[in-house]
């Protein structure tokens, strides 16, 4: 009777190890995450630097925030006219670094539920293809601070 129980236990350990390998910590790093606020506005922009330190591509399929609707936007200037468009997916190749900067790629926060002030922090959750997520803490800065 002990052998079937031992076999079942061994199978469960193997299953847990396999599941953990697929759902393990993403090979993503983040640096210098910050949010620029405009006093009186219910929108803000977040900036950071992401790096894929793994050997497989990583695909960001969304962003979550407890304080606002969040999405990845990219600013383009064509013939002197600036426009933004939403990015549904952002792929980081192995070893690739992507910078979210003013006037370029950024996380748009719309419909802020409360006033953010310089010195506050706000977690942003990057949603990855396959169901994993990666949380980044962004520091709020005043409009003139970069």
Question: What is 25-141's CATH number, 3.40.50.720, 2.60.40.1890, 2.40.170.20, 3.40.50.150?
Answer: 2.60.40.1890
With contact defined as beta carbons under 8 Å apart, do 138 and 109 qualify? no
SS3 131: coil
The pLDDT of residue 88 = 94
Tell me the pLDDT of the chain (146 aa) as tens digits: 444 444 333 333 333 322 233 445 569 999 999 999 988 889 999 999 999 999 999 999 999 999 999 999 998 888 888 888 999 999 999 999 999 999 999 999 999 988 889 999 999 999 999 999 999 999 999 887 76
Q: Where are the domains of the chain?
A: 25-141
Q: Comparing C-alpha atoms, which of 69, 30, 31, 28 is closest to residue 52?
A: 28
The pLDDT of residue 8 = 36
The pLDDT of residue 25 = 58
With contact defined as beta carbons under 8 Å apart, do 32 and 48 qualify? yes
């Amino acid at each position: 009777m002990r052998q079937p129980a031992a076999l079942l236990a061994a199978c469960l350990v193997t299953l847990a190890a396999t599941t953990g390998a697929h759902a393990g910590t993403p090979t993503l790093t983040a640096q210098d995450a910050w949010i620029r606020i405009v006093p009186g506005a219910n929108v803000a922009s977040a900036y950071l630097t992401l790096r894929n330190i793994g050997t497989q591509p990583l695909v960001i399929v969304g962003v979550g925030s407890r304080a606002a609707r969040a999405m990845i936007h990219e600013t383009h200037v064509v013939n002197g006219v600036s426009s933004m468009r939403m990015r549904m997916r952002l792929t980081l190749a192995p070893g690739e670094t992507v910078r979210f900067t003013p006037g370029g790629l950024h996380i748009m926060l719309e419909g802020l539920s409360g006033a953010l002030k310089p010195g506050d922090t706000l977690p942003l959750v990057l949603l990855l293809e396959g169901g994993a997520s990666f949380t980044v803490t962004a520091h709020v800065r005043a409009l003139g601070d970069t």
